[in-house]
Amino acid sequence: MPRGSNHVKFIQNYIDGKFVAGQREFADVNPADGSVIGQVTEADRDVVDRAVQSARKALAGEWGRASVRERAARLRKVADTIESRFDCFVAAEVADTGKPISLAARLDVPRAAANFRAFADMISTSGIESFQTETADGKSALNYAVRKPLGVVGIITPWNLPLLLLTWKVAPALACGNAVVVKPSEETPATATLLAEVMERTGMPDGVYNVVHGFGPNSAGEFLTQHPDVNAVTFTGESQTGTAIMKTVASSVKPISFELGGKNAAIVFADCDFEDATAGIADAVFLNTGQVCLCAERVYVERGILDRFVSALKQRAEALRLGSPLDPATELGPLISKQHREKVVSYYSLAREEGANVVTGGGIPEFGNSLDNGFYIQPTIYTGLAESARCVKEEIFGPVCHIAPFDTEDEAVNMANNTKYGLAASIWTSNLKRGHRVAQQMNAGITWVNCWFLRDLRTPFGGMGLSGIGREGGMHSLNFYSELNNICIRL
Ligand code: NAD
């Protein structure tokens, strides 16, 4: 177990306020050099059951009786404690994911603290619906709703932004008075476990926050979604996994919230601020080595500026500094795992078979040092693929995009919307009317105009089609993580 150290050695499940071992262990691997940095104890069905029962017990105790004010105060303390252990969280996240230290320090860990503060504020200021109803006899009734916790929430998260996405769910769930059992990705178990230490330090009652480690099918993930005493499941990950979880929970009619994959488009009009657009799209394609669900893998550029745009993005891709995640100057770390790199490389080969022109990249870089044992990949740009090509249709989840030209606004909209996904889009134009007009036609849960990944935690976040079910953020999170009981009083 990490005890204030920067190096995770032994990572255990956390149940009822105690760290507990499981029957089996699996390795935690640093993707930057392939080294084993920890041993993780896998939760079997019995351990998952104990975690769920400890959450139930917490709901029946002090936590179940805590006022909104008490819960909000507790969440703010969690945020403060994350910040007091900032370096420890950054080190653990960097070691698990291989992401550049500058990114973890700028995005992942600050957002984790911000998630707890934001939902402490939101639960403190959220109102309640009430209606005065006229009755047939000329009298009236008062309707008002009260917010109740769902109970035990199962939280299953991916490896790309482990702490950020986990706390995006844990914070509103606790704000609403639930108890949680979280199952972080098997690739990135460390920060969810460090968060257990934070919960302990802040005096969070035992059983409110539980962690079970393991894999998906026939392991902790599936055991959690199958558990009859889990009242709701919230999941972020691949669309295919969403389908599997949906099947599992169907028999018990649990509320679900799904944030799934994407094949996001960026549309660049000739009237854009060229520097802004190329910088913004370089970020949208390559940030976190392309492993953000919001990343743009399809870029549509107005024909008049196509060549200039392709060469500007190529220049930016080639200037990206790949290297050790611990070097503050590094801009691009490795992919998460050997297996994921094999998947991305297979798409690089497929793109060639499908007739792509390789503008830059398409292979594996060489460093001549221990990083060659890591899972690095070159940032890659393609042109020339048909819109029906698999590389244009399927989520690759790597530092790669395909650039295609368009001639009219309608054509750009149709190409961008020609996908089964619907998570995010970005539009680059200096024409305000066009920005609004095109944004409103996007089949996406979130559309940025002249920016990307600019988030306000009060706004709805989620996807259409294969990209998910439901919205999180602001009141949308509070609504998912609670049940409304409407009370009608005859006056
Ligand atoms: P994944 O679906 O493989 O795994 C996500 C989590 O689900 C892991 O904890 C895994 O152990 C668990 N899991 C797998 N199978 C399961 C099963 N049958 N039952 C229960 N749990 C199971 O996803 P990943 O590879 O970790 O993450 C990458 C994917 O996540 C990409 O598709 C990406 O677009 C998506 N993503 C979406 C968002 C969003 O907000 N929409 C954010 C980040 C990532």
CA distances for 250 relative to 218, 225, 228, 255, angstroms: 17, 10, 12, 9
Identify which of 152, 201, 190 has the alpha carbon closest to the alpha carbon of residue 48: 152
Any ligand 1 atom below 6 A from CB of 423: yes
Percent of the chain with pLDDT over 70: 98
pLDDT at 6 over 60: no
Q: How confident is the model at residue 4 (pLDDT cuts 50, 70, 90)?
A: very low
Average pLDDT over residues 44-63: 97
Q: How confident is the model at residue 1 (pLDDT cuts 50, 70, 90)?
A: very low
pLDDT at 234 over 70: yes
Task: Give CA–CA dist 217/245, Å, rounded.
Answer: 10
pLDDT at 71 over 80: yes
pLDDT at 23: 79
pLDDT at 2 over 70: no
Pocket test for ligand 1, best of 28, 218, 293 (most atoms within 8 A of CB): 293
Distance separating the N- and C-terminal Cα atoms of the chain: 58
Average pLDDT over residues 170-186: 98
pLDDT at 476 over 60: yes
Residue at 357: amino acid letter? N
pLDDT at 99 over 70: yes
Q: How confident is the model at residue 9 (pLDDT cuts 50, 70, 90)?
A: confident
Task: Give CA–CA dist 215/262, Å, rounded.
Answer: 22
Catalytic residue among 93, 259, 331, 472: 259
Residue at 183: amino acid letter? K
Q: How far is the CA of 236 from the centre of ligand 1 (A)?
A: 5
CA distances for 115 relative to 89, 120, 167, 170, 474, angstroms: 15, 9, 6, 9, 10
Residues 95 and 7: beta-carbon distance below 8 Å: yes
Any ligand 1 atom below 6 A from CB of 302: no
Q: How far is the CA of 71 from the centre of ligand 1 (A)?
A: 29
Task: Give CA–CA dist 248/246, Å, rounded.
Answer: 5
Catalytic residue among 293, 295, 391, 401: 293
Average pLDDT over residues 77-104: 98
3-state per-residue secondary structure call for the chain? CCCCCCCCCEECEEECCEEECCCEEEEEECCCCCCEEEEEEECCHHHHHHHHHHHHHHHHCHHHHCCHHHHHHHHHHHHHHHHHCHHHHHHHHHHHHCCCHHHHHHHHHHHHHHHHHHHHHHHHHCCCCEEEEECCCCCEEEEEEEEEECCEEEEECCCCCHHHHHHHHHHHHHHCCCEEEEECCCCCCHHHHHHHHHHHHCCCCCCCEEECCCCCCCCHHHHHHHCCCCCEEEEECCHHHHHHHHHHHHCCCCCEEEECCCCEEEEECCCCCHHHHHHHHHHHHHHHHHCCCCCEEEEEEEHHHHHHHHHHHHHHHHHCCECCCCCCCCCECCCCCHHHHHHHHHHHHHHHHCCCEEEECCCCCCCCCHHHHCCCCCCEEEECCCCCCHHHHCCCCCCEEEEEEECCHHHHHHHHHCCCCCCEEEEECCCHHHHHHHHHHCCCCEEEECCCCCCCCCCCECCCHHHEECCECHHHHHHHCEEEEEEEEEC
Q: How confident is the model at residue 251 (pLDDT cuts 50, 70, 90)?
A: confident
336 Cα nearest atom in ligand 1: 25
Any ligand 1 atom below 6 A from CB of 188: no
Q: How far is the CA of 481 from the centre of ligand 1 (A)?
A: 20
Average pLDDT over residues 126-139: 92
Q: How far is the CA of 258 from the centre of ligand 1 (A)?
A: 10
Percent of the chain with pLDDT over 90: 96
Active site residue 275: no
Q: How far is the CA of 305 from the centre of ligand 1 (A)?
A: 37
pLDDT at 21: 84
pLDDT digits (tens, 9 = 90+) for 252-286: 889 999 999 999 999 999 999 999 999 999 999 99
Q: How confident is the model at residue 26 (pLDDT cuts 50, 70, 90)?
A: very high
pLDDT digits (tens, 9 = 90+) for 302-350: 999 999 999 999 999 999 999 999 999 999 999 999 999 999 999 999 9
Q: Which two tokens stand for residue 373?
A: 């044992």
pLDDT at 129: 87
Active site residue 272: no
Average pLDDT over residues 136-163: 97
Residues 416 and 267: beta-carbon distance below 8 Å: yes
Please give the domain boundaries of the chain with CATH numbers for all domains. Answer: 10-260+467-490 (3.40.605.10), 264-456 (3.40.309.10)
Task: Give CA–CA dist 400/289, Å, rounded.
Answer: 9
Mean pLDDT (the chain, rounded)? 96
pLDDT at 5 over 90: no
pLDDT digits (tens, 9 = 90+) for 342-395: 999 999 999 999 999 999 999 999 999 999 999 999 999 999 999 999 999 999
- pTM score, two decimals? 0.96
